[in-house]
Structure 1
Amino acid sequence: MVLRPMFLYLSKNKVLNRSAKRWGLRMGAKQIVAGVTIDDAMTAVKKLNEFGLVATVDHLGEFITSKEEAIESTTYCIKTLEAIADTGVTCNLSLKLTQLGLDVERELCYENMRKIVGRAAELGNFVRIDMEDFAHCQQTLDILSTLRREFPRSVGTVIQAYLYRAKQDIYDLKGVNLRLVKGAYKESPQVAIQSKKQIDENYLSIIKQHLKSGSYTAIATHDHVIIQKVKAFCRVEKIPRSQFEFQMLYGFRKELQEKIAAEGYTMRIYVPYGTDWYGYFMRRLAERPQNVSFALRGLLSK
């Protein structure tokens, strides 16, 4: 896609990100971002639950540059976990370590993350650490490793199939609850596969690898071909449905989401919310050409 590099570049523009907070959910963003408050997110999740879908919510946050911002984000994540418990929705939490101060100070980030995962453990919930760009990959896995010594069942992360290191990471993370994705950031040929065909092949390969190890696997894709191949593989290998789930993004392919849930599979929807929606939205536009027309329809409908 010719526009992909442009949208990925725009996703990192701090000036536009600050402006977007003042715009509100524009450019079609409200179709794929549940709202700006915790109540908005809980309302969206309740509706998903009514259709047999479970969820993971993400309080969007990027470009955290101070200790105060990181602590504020931590507090919001804990409040979100408590709102999930209070409302009784079927939902867990996703977050990014840069939200919690990873680029400010590693120890600050770890302590913030420990508070969040500790609260999740108390509430019987689960926290997914979203994977960011390659520069943050090893730091993320190191923090995950430390957290799992204390909270082995309450935290997991994401592995991106386009990274050359993915297969080794899957091997090293046997037994860890992982979300597997193709990858959404622009990375250099030195660290990431560039061919779509090869990324798809590696994606299916690491899915099978993690499933065959007996590890819980979240397959996050809108690719119906991959989904059908995973279903067939699990039938042949007699992998129980309790060992895996499918995941999709809020606002996309609603009919397919409900169809998969109706077939008896766990279908989890990634529900982003918050004022800091701009970077997330730009990355979604970068992923698929269809998303650009989707956004333009939303903008022109104002």
Structure 2
Amino acid sequence: MSLDLVYRQAVLSVAGNPKVEALIKGRARSLVRRYVAGESLEEALQAAERLEAEGVHAILDLLGEMVHSEEEARGFQAGILELVRKISERPWPKYVSLKLTQLGLDLSEALALELMRGILREAEPRGVFVRLDMEDSPRVDATLRLYKALREEGFHGVGLVLQSYLFRTEKDLLDLLPYKPNLRLVKGAYREPKEVAFQDKRLIDAEFLHLGKLALKEGLYVAFATHDPRLIAEVKRYTQAMGVPRDRFEFQLLFGVRPEEQRRLAQEGYTVRAYVPYGTHWYPYLSRRIAERPENLFLVLRSLLGG
């Protein structure tokens, strides 16, 4: 196992400790503001406006996952519907991302499907694209089933995410080809066992490029979600060499991470989107960001020591 993976798994394990969660929630607000646009929808829309002024489009995400009741799931649906209506009033590209577990996937697939139908019935007529985030490996099959069900019901303004660190992903990609999915490709940010996921960063990176090239060859629209300069450079080289037009793919990066790279790619004429999370349920998201980059752990420690 690579040092990167050892670090990530260690951080995610510690982050699950309730005492650590309480400490970070109480004293690491400065780091939160770096990666989360705010707790309100208005703050998120203001952050999106600033990005648009720099040529970078926004992916808005009301943070939340793994709810414990139907009431909680319906509350998140109401929040997402408010987001859909508000963003539809803006002149820039309209793009929303969500997790199915915040709509009750763990409680009932039928409930999550019902709530997703309600969201898409509001979103599609307003030109709002909705991306279903992919969560940890036990939830992949259910997420794929719901995506396919929505497409078979006639919804088209919905996309999916695949993770390159899972052994199964190439098969999942091939199985999805009849649906011609709008695909976001990520490496994967959850703590996964060696039985289901690559544990070596080099293999994860290689698989990321392999899957992206395969998807492009199959005619899919691909959003490459990475901050790695080497991977970005290889995507640019490959698409230029193969004559893949720039309206067939895009780059996606996280709010607060390498903003200068986001602006530079946009200035070069690529479609660039920044994932802009907001809301009060930010702790799981922040934990995964800390696990991705050791520098973020130092920022947390500095926040804690400095109060």
Give the TM-score of the pair, scaled to structure 1: 0.94
Distance 1:118 1:11 in 2: 37
- Give SS of 1:272's match: strand
1:4 aligns with 2:8: yes
1:150 aligns with 2:153: yes
- Contact 1:117/1:151 (<8 A) preserved: no
Measured at CA, do residues 24 and 295 of structure 1 come closer, stay the same or move farther in structure 2, by a change above 3 Å?
Answer: closer
Residue 99 of structure 1 is matched in structure 2 by: 102
Residue 183 of structure 1 is matched in structure 2 by: 188
AA matched with 1:161: S
Over 6 Å off, 4+ runs: none
- Contact 2:27/2:303 (<8 A) preserved: no
Pairs within 5 Å for 1:35-54: 35-54=38-57
Distance 1:130 1:32 in 2: 18
Residue 55 of structure 1 is matched in structure 2 by: 58
Structure 2: gaps spanning 5 or more residues: none
Distance 1:117 1:20 in 2: 38
Larger mean CA deviation between 196-205 and 6-15 belongs to: 6-15
Residue 237 of structure 1 is matched in structure 2 by: 242
- Give SS of 1:144's match: helix
Measured at CA, do residues 165 and 91 of structure 1 come closer, stay the same or move farther in structure 2, by a change above 3 Å?
Answer: same
Distance 1:202 1:3 in 2: 20
1:114 aligns with 2:109: no
Measured at CA, do residues 298 and 31 of structure 1 come closer, stay the same or move farther in structure 2, by a change above 3 Å?
Answer: farther
How far residue 289 of structure 1 moved from its aligned partner, in angstroms, is 1.1
1:125 to 123, 128, 131: 128
Pairs within 5 Å for 1:222-233: 222-233=227-238
Structure 1: gaps spanning 5 or more residues: none
Task: Indicate the percent of aligned positions where both proteins have the same amino acid.
Answer: 43
Distance 1:173 1:294 in 2: 40
Measured at CA, do residues 146 and 83 of structure 1 come closer, stay the same or move farther in structure 2, by a change above 3 Å?
Answer: same
Residue 213 of structure 2 is matched in structure 1 by: 208
- Give SS of 1:275's match: coil
Distance 2:235 2:25 in 1: 42
Measured at CA, do residues 211 and 110 of structure 1 come closer, stay the same or move farther in structure 2, by a change above 3 Å?
Answer: same
- Give SS of 1:271's match: strand
- Contact 1:21/1:275 (<8 A) preserved: no
Measured at CA, do residues 232 and 127 of structure 1 come closer, stay the same or move farther in structure 2, by a change above 3 Å?
Answer: same
Distance 1:13 1:114 in 2: 35
- Contact 1:118/1:151 (<8 A) preserved: no
Cα RMSD for the two superposed structures: 2.0
1:257 aligns with 2:254: no
AA matched with 2:39: V
- Give SS of 2:160's match: strand
- Give SS of 1:35's match: coil
How far residue 298 of structure 1 moved from its aligned partner, in angstroms, is 5.1
AA matched with 2:149: T
Distance 1:91 1:14 in 2: 36
